[in-house]
Amino acid sequence: MAEKNQSIEKSPASNDTLTVTDNRTGRSYEVPIERDTIRALDLRKIKVQPDDFGMMTYDPAYANTASCRSAITYIDGDKGILRHRGYPIEQLAERSSFLEVAFLLIHGHLPRKDELEFWTNRIMRHTYIHENLAQMIATFRYDAHPMGTLVSSIAAMSTLHSESRYIEDPAVRQKQIWRILGKLPTLAAFAYRLRIGRPHNYPDSSRGYTDNFLYMLDYMNQRDYEVSPVAARALDVLFLLHADHEQNCSTTTMRVVGSSRGDPYVALAAAAAALYGPLHGGANEAVLRMLNKIGSESEIPGYIERVKRGEMRLMGFGHRIYRSYDPRAAIIKQAAYDLFEVTGSNPLIDIALELERIALEDDFFVSRQLYPNVDFYSGLIMQALRFPTDMFPVLFAIPRSAGWLAHWLEMIEDPEQKIARPRQVYIGADKRDYVPVEARSQMPR
Ligand code: CMC
């Protein structure tokens, strides 16, 4: 085989290339590197025969594949860094609000005062839901998991806002964003009130975002009713911390479903469905159930042994990206203590702290770089705010809609993006001829 250097788009002035030698042919190829990344399509030139398909990469679960270029959220998993549009999560949690961060994610900059007022006003003016939707929610069984109700209701919004499919129009896109951010808390609150057998409360757009949500959940015609500002702020910080986390399972789903250019409601319903599972947004619910099951500190060593034997996972531990402490977990842990000063302590915090202490010293967890993630402590705050356990993933889905929408917009506006369509490595049977059913008894199983 002839030795030949095949240059693919090499810039002569730059050393930023990767040289790959194909030992099947002895040929070398130079591939440009940009931001520590090569373009997978550049590998397609690597062939043995000219009519071969060309080289692909095999990456189950996309563990090392960038499917987009994004300017929204930066994570350094080794150092435990999380920034939205450049702003550290610690500063945002301390000084910002969920709606401000939602604006930041979607528009790329912190809003001016008038922009924030307009944004807040638009979102709060879209908190009412169509009566058909309220009636639809009422048809779910009293014990329906609220995430199932939420996913279905978001999808149903597609039928009520028919102009939403004209996504090429920026004004149409913008309106759906206000609607989604405004209506999600209402859908969740209506589902919750149905669950507890109470009539729903209509939104009060003069209230703040989380203030209104807590009002819709709790108000019972009390004359002296007030939403606790401490509870509203705790929920706001919780929402802010969940607003985006770059290309996780649900955000990737939003991009993939959105890439076929359907309306944002169906894409968002799919993203919420992806969030539902216990390895993703359902982990907060699973952590609480786990802490309740453990029951007391004396049971922890036995539980840890079972995790190490592979019988179950320690929920709220581990992360695909973070290989050190999840910065959101550190903030949430502190916020939990702040809230407990008002609500009284949660006995499960002692079990959680002891579980964390033992796990962080145990070689099983240390060697696998398993640290508490955002879900480890968030459930304790949600419980202190008196949310039922199966509402927890809903409290993740509402704020994450801001991130889903930011990524959806970025995807639509990115000229490099097309309909998502990964490749596969086919490992099935070679061509074989059809066998009539009468003759199949002689076929090997
Ligand atoms: N408990 C016990 N062992 C674990 C855990 C855990 N929570 N997580 C990972 N491992 C082990 C796993 O068994 C494997 O061990 P080995 O190498 O011996 O086979 C090793 O660590 C690597 O695990 P992995 O499954 O390859 O890691 P992953 O990056 O695919 O999974 C994860 C990430 C978050 C799904 C996983 O850590 C997990 O299941 N955690 C528990 C669920 C959870 O808390 N999810 C919330 C994630 S943060 C919020 C969000 O973004 O949704």
Q: Which two tokens stand for residue 306?
A: 């079972």
Residue 179 CA, ligand 1 centroid: distance in Å:
35
Tell which one of 147, 252, 368 to mutate to probe ligand 1, the residue whose CB is within 8 A of the most ligand atoms. Answer: 368
Q: Which residue carries 């930066």 as its tokens?
A: 74
Residue 318 CA, ligand 1 centroid: distance in Å:
5
- Which residues lie closer than 8 Å to 412 by C-beta, 6 or more apart? 167, 173, 258
3-state secondary structure of 323: coil
Among the atoms of ligand 1, which is closest to the Cα of residue 275? Answer: 52
Q: Which two tokens stand for residue 423?
A: 């490749």
Task: For ligand 1, atom 2, name the residue with the nearest CA.
Answer: 313
Exposed (0-12), middle (13-18) or buried (19+): which is 219, by Cβ within 10 Å?
Answer: middle
Task: For ligand 1, atom 45, name the residue with the nearest CA.
Answer: 279
d(CA 365, CA 298): 20
Active-site residue 375, yes or no?
yes
The strand pairing partners of 32, in sequence order, are: 17
pLDDT of residue 1: 37
Residue 201 CA, ligand 1 centroid: distance in Å:
40
Q: Which CA distances in Å does 113 have to 15, 26, 117, 350?
A: 46, 62, 6, 42
Q: Which CA distances in Å does 379 have to 9, 101, 293, 371?
A: 51, 22, 14, 16
Q: For the domain covering 83-277+391-410, report its CATH number.
A: 1.10.580.10
Tell which one of 370, 376, 392, 396 to mutate to probe ligand 1, the residue whose CB is within 8 A of the most ligand atoms. Answer: 370
* Pocket residues: Cβ below 6 A from ligand 1: 245, 248, 279-281, 283, 307, 313-320, 368, 370, 373-375
Task: For ligand 1, atom 46, name the residue with the nearest CA.
Answer: 280
CATH 3.40.50.20, domain 283-383, yes or no: no
Q: Is the dihedral of CA 83, 87, 93, 98 positive or negative?
A: negative
For 205, list phi and psi in degrees, rounded to 5: -75, -5
Task: For ligand 1, atom 9, name the residue with the nearest CA.
Answer: 318
Among the atoms of ligand 1, which is closest to the Cα of residue 320? Answer: 29
Q: Which of 319, 326, 390, 407 is catalytic?
A: 319
Residue 314 CA, ligand 1 centroid: distance in Å:
8
For 233, list phi and psi in degrees, rounded to 5: -70, -40
Among the atoms of ligand 1, which is closest to the Cα of residue 313? Answer: 1
Contact 98, 210 (CB under 8 A): yes
Residue 58 CA, ligand 1 centroid: distance in Å:
21
Q: Do domains 83-277+391-410 and 283-383 have the same CATH topology?
A: no
- Ordered by start, the domain boundaries in the chain are 83-277+391-410, 283-383
Q: Which CA distances in Å does 17 have to 27, 56, 262, 291?
A: 16, 18, 38, 50
Residue type, 394: V
d(CA 237, CA 100): 11
Task: For ligand 1, atom 16, name the residue with the nearest CA.
Answer: 368
Residue 266 CA, ligand 1 centroid: distance in Å:
29
How many residues are there in the chain? 445
Q: What is the DSSP string of 336-384?
A: HHHHHHHH---THHHHHHHHHHHHHHSHHHHHTT--B-HHHHHHHHHHH
Q: Tell me the whole-structure pTM to 2 decimals.
A: 0.92
Residue 366 CA, ligand 1 centroid: distance in Å:
13
Residue 257 CA, ligand 1 centroid: distance in Å:
25
Q: Which of 107, 130, 280, 362 is catalytic?
A: 280
Tell which one of 78, 317, 355, 369 to mutate to probe ligand 1, the residue whose CB is within 8 A of the most ligand atoms. Answer: 317
Residue type, 431: K
d(CA 70, CA 374): 22
pLDDT of residue 7: 41
For 141, list phi and psi in degrees, rounded to 5: -65, 155
pLDDT by residue (tens digit) across 321-339? Answer: 998 889 999 999 888 888 8
Active-site residue 84, yes or no?
no
Average pLDDT of each block of 10 consecutive residues along the chain (445 residues)?
Answer: 42 79 97 96 97 97 96 96 98 98 98 98 98 95 92 97 96 98 97 91 97 97 93 96 97 98 98 96 93 94 95 94 91 89 86 92 95 91 91 96 98 97 97 94 82
pLDDT of residue 4: 42
The strand pairing partners of 37, in sequence order, are: 34
Active-site residue 236, yes or no?
no
Q: Which of 244, 326, 375, 390 is catalytic?
A: 375
pLDDT of residue 3: 39
